[in-house]
Amino acid sequence: MNSSIVKLPNKYELVKDTLVLILAGGRGSRLYELTDKRAKPALYFGGNRRIIDFALSNCLNSGLNRIGVVTQYAAHSLLRHLQNGWSFLPAERGEFIDMLPARQQIDDSTWYRGTADAVYQNMAIIRDHYCPKYILILAGDHIYKQDYSQMLLDHINSGAKCTVGCIEVEREKASEFGVMAVNENLKVKSFVEKPKDPPAMVGKPNTSLASMGIYVFDAAYLYDVLEREVSSPYTSHDFGKDILPKALEEEVLYAHPFSRSCMGRNTEGEIYWRDVGTLDSFWQSNIDLVCETPQLDIYDQSWPIRGNPVQTYPSKFFYKKEIARPVDNSLISGGCVITDASISYSVLFDRIKINEGSEIDHCVVLPQVTIGKNCKLKRCIIDRHTTIPDGMEIGVNLELDRQRFRVSSGGVVLVTQSMLKKLNGEDVASEAHLD
């Protein structure tokens, strides 16, 4: 027997040796008022889920049940969601979803200073308590389905110490990402973070290879590079800006194409991955779900997306008048009461009341919203706990809407209860709804 042959771990051994860290502390500033009260990963999605449910469900479906969620900004809603909906893993099997909030561990004034620093400040706990061999780092704010165990296997087979998940994007949009070039073995040969002029892929002049913000590290290498980086006087404490360039310099950085592990493809059979970091992308990703053949199949039980839906009564539709198309191509969650209203191409979350004569078209309506009589809403996002007064039209006259609400670059109107109160000259300081 050749003793030089290295025995590779099987998938079962690999997932048991892996700790997942979901970075869920981001502000989500491009979502404006939608993230005033909640961290971006806690934002509602798809009728009865939250954005972080996709990363968590991908972990469980991949067999990865040792998970830490790193939180910081406006974390209350997110922590309640994790406690109420994701606290079922059996500790006796070494499985868990632990919460790792910012604890100012360096000194009493230092919060997480970047993505890499969020891991560094938890490194003692990771190394001494969890004791992983591999660390998978995820963003908590993307919509996609992925088998992470395949990425882990590719990491081992390549001999990498750091593997970055990558996806092909249009070159004109690539300036929002870290962009890389790879050789025939997927070894990364160059990497630049958010370039103004993104380099194109070889043979694909209109396409760039972009980082998804998903990383696999050998734990020992990650500890070492973080220790070295934290003392650098010029560091940004960021994986894309600092850690990946260091791994590239040391020739241990490899890429993993998302197409190899994608478990959710669109109607054309192409991979589906969305960063819902803007009002337009959040609105569009929700609307993607309502057509006959949706861009992302949330009904696919072969790769289920778990969540924490609230207990509600069934939704009720009551029509006293003849309406040609009362409900058309829409997702409507539980506990809604719809009376003589028209709803088309919209996503309605739970416990929504829509009164007679109102028209809802291409809208995303978050939980516990009341819409009055004879309202007309088009291309809107309505935040939770909002009451739309009788007769109000939104999305019909964007010039008027810009004076009252927030209108995105794509013409989507965001409406919150605070905006409506300001419109009526009311005090908004007393608002204290739990999200």
Tokens of 122: 């938890």
**Burial of residue 323, with CB atoms counted within 10 A of its CB: 0-12 exposed, 13-18 middle, 19 or more buried:** middle
**341, HSE (Cβ side, Cα atoms, 13 Å):** 28
H/E run at residue 369: none
Cα–Cα distance between 42 and 39 in angstroms, integer? 5
420 and 372 Cβ atoms separated by less than 8 Å: no
State yes or no: 178 annotated in a binding site.
Answer: yes
Burial (0-12, 13-18, 19+ Cβ within 10 Å), 60: middle
Enter the DSSP assignment of 88: -
Count Cβ neighbours within 10 Å for each residue of 331-355 and write b for 16 or more, e otherwise.
bbbbbbbbbbbbbbbbbbbbbbbbb
Task: Establish whether 203 is an annotated binding residue.
Answer: no
Transcribe 213-228 into DSSP letters.
Answer: EEEEEEHHHHHHHHHH
Contact (Cβ atoms closer than 8 angstroms) between residue 247 and residue 155: no
Q: What is the DSSP letter of 345?
A: S
**Cα 127–chain centre separation:** 27
Contact 166, 159 (CB under 8 A): no
Query: 112: annotated binding-site residue?
Result: yes
* Number of other residues whose CB lies within 10 A of the CB of residue 308: 16
**Distance from C-alpha of 409 to C-alpha of 132, rounded to nearest angstrom:** 44
- The response to whether 68 counts as a known ligand-binding position is no
The length of the chain is: 435
Residue ranges for the binding site?
A: 112, 178, 193-194, 211
Residue ranges for the binding site for alpha-D-glucose 1-phosphate?
A: 112, 178, 193-194, 211
